[in-house]
Amino acid sequence: MSLQDNFTQSIITGYNSSNAITLGAGILNGSPIKEAQVKIPLKTLNRHGLIAGATGTGKTVTMQIIAESICSAGIPVLLMDLKGDLSGISKTGALNAKIEERHNLIGIPYAAKGTTSELMSISGGSGIKLRATVSEFGPVLFSKILELNETQSGLVAMLFKYADDKGLLLLDLKDFKALIKFASEDGKSDLQKEYGNISTASLGTILRKVVELESQGAEQFFGEKSFEVNDLLRTNENGEGIASIIRLTDIQDKPKLFSTFMLSLLAEIYSTFPEVGDIEKPKLCVFIDEAHLIFNEASKALLDQIESIIKLIRSKGVGVFFITQNPYDVPESVLAQLGLKVQHALRAFTEKDRKAIKKTAENYPISEFYKTDELLTSLGIGQALISALNEKGIPTPLAAVHLKAPSSRIGVISQDELNEIVSKSKLLDKYNQVVDRESAYEIFNKRLEEKANKSEEDVETETPKTSKSKPEKSIIEKATENTMVRQVGRTIFKELTRGLLGALGVGGKKKKGWF
């Protein structure tokens, strides 16, 4: 049997599956072999994955190919779009000479097709608004977002308990700031009698942390109406999965907001979705672009939580895929949990680069057909090394793959096209209405106004009406003038906090919605 026959048989045996997505054809000696089709079983997509490679090698397009193929198989996907170039998945692609040549080489017919999509936003951008309330986060998760120490976290837990006991809704950040102000001034003595000592300095630190989070645009994320994660599981009239694209182009420089969102979303998916075990195809696949923003400078405790959620969320029928430049942007403890690995080319400009390439090559199965470390530097655009799991969970042979082209458009869509998609969304009326119920902020302000009016009446009855007392300022006006908050305005942090992703123990009062 010839080398090509051996290679073809190896790919057919390793990647053969009737219920699978096709990514392309295996490469031998630099040329794709049409008979060596590389297919990824749907059953293994909840074992998570990684798409890595140097800038410009085609990671985003590969993510688009996999995502649209998954949707065509009836599985919804959630895409984190930090660069703005994933919205093209919503529009039909166009055949050109390069695409025709590529598909002739790999023996796969090209079919231009767009994917039914929802465009979403966690900030002020166009799209369905994704929100969550402070109360629904609970004290544990909220403290992790603010990076508080044990003492400060205890105070946050006490504030949440007080709000629950008194029926105070904590819907947005101004509600929580009003509660902090109340605890440090008018309500401090009463709170201390019932809940224990309160450190004014710790409350000041918590307030500064809230202001920092607010400066990254989090006030647009916290509030109502809370997003329900089951709305991510929708299919279109043809039974194909809908691609929910969260447009994050305006928060690339706001890592804490991005981390807050990812942490809350995965925690809510885990707590909401029922256990399903190993099923024929996952219920949802989540793609996280620029994954290093989550993992940078994460503590060991946080990495342990990330590892736990990646292990456990699989049983909920959810696959999570990380997209980043270097595999080692993802911690080894998480990397070890990923069943699908798609590695685009790496660049070897320095000694450090060459060492990293040799280390990366060691993560893949030994192949009689490739020198993996050499191949990693010679892959072309639209080519990648792939290692997956077969339907029995056994690692497949290493395959260099000439990938097919996306059926949808590559690149961004116009503002008019974006507006058209948003205007036709069935979720628009549900989530884009502004809701501002009476909550802690309004209640505390009302108390201050009543107190100020009573003081005026007392003064008028006791002294001649020569001059009217100036009403006491509102809680927010006081907070603005407070020295502590003014210092925050002058000391913008040079390095925003490490990414957050885990936290299964979410406390606080549970309400219908995201959390």
Instruction: Please provide residue 128's backbone torsions phi and psi, each rounded to the nearest 5 degrees.
Output: -65, 130
Q: What is the pLDDT of residue 218?
A: 81
How many angstroms separate the CA atoms of 33 and 4, rounded? 8
Closest CA to 218 of 178, 173, 157: 173
Q: Is residue 281 reached through a cis peptide bond, with omega within 30 degrees of 0 on the bond before it?
A: no
Q: Where are the domains of the chain?
A: 3-130+223-421, 134-216+437-457+465-490
CB 264 within 8 A of CB 130: no
Q: DSSP labels for 137-176?
A: HHHHHHHHHHT--HHHHHHHHHHHHHHHHHT----SHHHH
Q: What is the pLDDT of residue 495?
A: 31
Per-residue pLDDT in tens (0 to 9) along the chain, 515 residues? 789 999 999 998 888 888 999 999 999 999 999 999 999 999 999 999 999 998 889 999 999 999 999 999 999 999 998 888 899 999 999 999 999 999 999 999 999 999 999 999 887 678 898 888 898 888 887 887 788 888 999 999 999 999 999 889 999 999 999 999 999 988 888 888 888 888 999 999 999 999 988 887 788 888 888 889 999 999 999 999 999 999 887 776 776 677 767 777 888 898 899 999 889 999 999 999 888 877 775 556 556 767 788 888 999 999 999 999 888 888 888 888 899 999 999 988 888 888 888 888 888 888 999 999 999 999 999 999 999 999 988 999 999 999 999 999 998 999 999 999 999 999 988 888 777 788 888 888 888 777 767 766 666 666 554 444 455 554 444 444 443 333 333 333 333 333 333 333 433 444 444 43
Closest CA to 386 of 56, 65, 137: 65
Q: Which residue type sits at 424?
A: K
Q: What is the pLDDT of residue 300?
A: 63
Q: What is the pLDDT of residue 141?
A: 79
Q: What is the pLDDT of residue 136?
A: 83
Closest CA to 66 of 51, 82, 85: 51
Beta strands at 284-288 and 318-324: parallel, antiparallel or unpaired: parallel
pTM of the full structure: 0.81
299 CB-near residues (< 8 Å, 6+ apart): 498
The angle subtended at Cα 174 by Cα 172 and Cα 180, nearest 5°, is 115
> What's the count of helices (H) and strands (E) in the chain, helices before strands?
19, 12
CB 406 within 8 A of CB 108: no
How many angstroms separate the CA atoms of 376 and 335, rounded? 18
Instruction: Please provide residue 294's backbone torsions phi and psi, each rounded to the nearest 5 degrees.
Output: -80, -40
Q: What is the pLDDT of residue 297?
A: 55
Q: How far is CA 336 from CA 47, 52, 62, 312, 331, in A?
A: 11, 15, 21, 14, 9
Length, in residues, of the chain: 515
Q: For 100-141, what is each residue's pLDDT tens digit?
A: 999 999 999 999 999 999 999 887 678 898 888 898 888 887
Instruction: Please provide residue 299's backbone torsions phi and psi, each rounded to the nearest 5 degrees.
Output: -75, 165
CB 339 within 8 A of CB 389: yes
Paired tokens of 257: 């907001």
Domain 3-130+223-421 part of CATH 3.30.470.10: no
Q: What is the pLDDT of residue 472?
A: 52
